[in-house]
Amino acid sequence: MNTISILAALDENYLPRMQVMLTSLYLNNPGERADVYLLHSGIPQEQLAAVKRQLDFMQYGFYPVPVDKSLFDGAPVTKQYPREMYYRLLAPRLLPETLDRVIYLDPDILIINSLRPLWETDLRGNLFGAAAHTGMTELANRVNRVRLDSGSDYYNSGVLLMDLSAGRREIRPEEIFRFVEERGMELLLPDQDLLNALYGRRILPLDDALWNYDARNYNNYLLRSGGICDLDWVMEHTAILHFCGKAKPWKKGYFYRFGVLYKHYARLTARMFPKEEEGEERED
């Protein structure tokens, strides 16, 4: 059984969220091996060490990849368009050339069933596999299709199955930078808009109820499925719960249904991988 490759791209503030996601991956994919790649802009080594201890326990590989800032010389980089927004699209150029495919995951995710079927999905010549939340946001989906002239549904960029080999041939950093330079004022969700505008026609649609379930919208999934996608169905079939939007389950006031499940995995993470006490001697 081949190793699943996972990609994250974030700053140090989201490391604790990534650790919760990794705990859920480990507990709900027994017997799997995974390598975790992290694209970052200089996260301190002591913070990366906490993730490495967790992944060593899981017997997963950990490969932090500091991104060379020179790649973005001449690129539009501002507070609205930080370097990090380019990382997932440029992953084919940033990750080792020996890597052929990877599953990109946002850190605000729980994995509650096997990722193996997603990992083994045939992309049929596409650059990406991604899900569109069309059932919940059909009006927004149509508006975004026109706004970006993507010729496709509006795909969420928080979960991506990526063909890195094809990406190395087809994704050009200069094309991405030029698009932002020319149409940056039109971008509402910059990294997601870039994915859809430039590569919407090269995306294999995935079932969002399985691979990118919007945790805010339980009632919509239930109604859309004629009552089939109830809580029991989600716990048995959904692999990826995505806590989309500004409201997050680790913040006060989160009221959506799956918030308590997130808190459960956050508690398990804290129990299994406690933070080192101040002054405690650390291993190299």
197-236 residue pLDDT tens: 899 999 999 999 999 999 999 999 999 999 999 999 999 9
| Proportion of the chain above pLDDT 90, given as a percent | 74
Q: How confident is the model at residue 149 (pLDDT cuts 50, 70, 90)?
A: low
Going by C-beta distance under 8 Å and a sequence separation of 6 or more, which residues neighbour residue 255? Answer: 247
Phi, psi of 238, deg, nearest 5: -65, 130
DSSP percent split of the chain into helix, strand, coil, nearest 5: 45, 15, 40
pLDDT at position 262 is: 98
* Averaged pLDDT, 267-284: 70
Q: How confident is the model at residue 98 (pLDDT cuts 50, 70, 90)?
A: very high
Asked whether residue 143 carries a pLDDT value surpassing 60, the answer given is no
pLDDT at position 198 is: 93
pLDDT at position 190 is: 77
| Element spanning 105, H or E | strand 101-105
Going by C-beta distance under 8 Å and a sequence separation of 6 or more, which residues neighbour residue 15? Answer: 43, 47, 50, 51, 107
pLDDT, tens digit, 9 for 90 and up, residues 241-274: 999 999 999 999 999 999 999 999 999 999 999 9
Q: How confident is the model at residue 136 (pLDDT cuts 50, 70, 90)?
A: low
Q: Which of 9-13, 33-37, 265-269 is least confident? A: 9-13
pLDDT at position 60 is: 98
Asked whether residue 25 carries a pLDDT value surpassing 90, the answer given is yes
Comparing 147 with 203, which gets the higher pLDDT? 203
Helix and strand element counts for the chain (H, E) = 12, 10
What does the alpha-carbon distance between residue 89 and residue 107 come to, in Å, rounded to a whole number?
Answer: 16
Q: How confident is the model at residue 179 (pLDDT cuts 50, 70, 90)?
A: confident
**Mean pLDDT computed over every residue of the chain:** 89
Asked whether residue 138 carries a pLDDT value surpassing 70, the answer given is no
Say if residues 211 and 131 touch (Cβ distance below 8 Å). Answer: yes
Q: How confident is the model at residue 275 (pLDDT cuts 50, 70, 90)?
A: confident
* Averaged pLDDT, 277-284: 42
DSSP per-residue letters across 124-141: TT-SEEEEB-TTT-HHHH
Say if residues 204 and 163 touch (Cβ distance below 8 Å). Answer: no
pLDDT, tens digit, 9 for 90 and up, residues 112-131: 999 999 999 999 999 999 99
Q: How would you label 22-61 residue by residue, b for 16+ Cβ within 10 Å and e otherwise?
A: bbbbbebbeebebbbbbbbbebeeeebebbbebbeebebb
* Averaged pLDDT, 53-81: 88
Nearest-5° Cα angle at 31, 28 to 36: 75
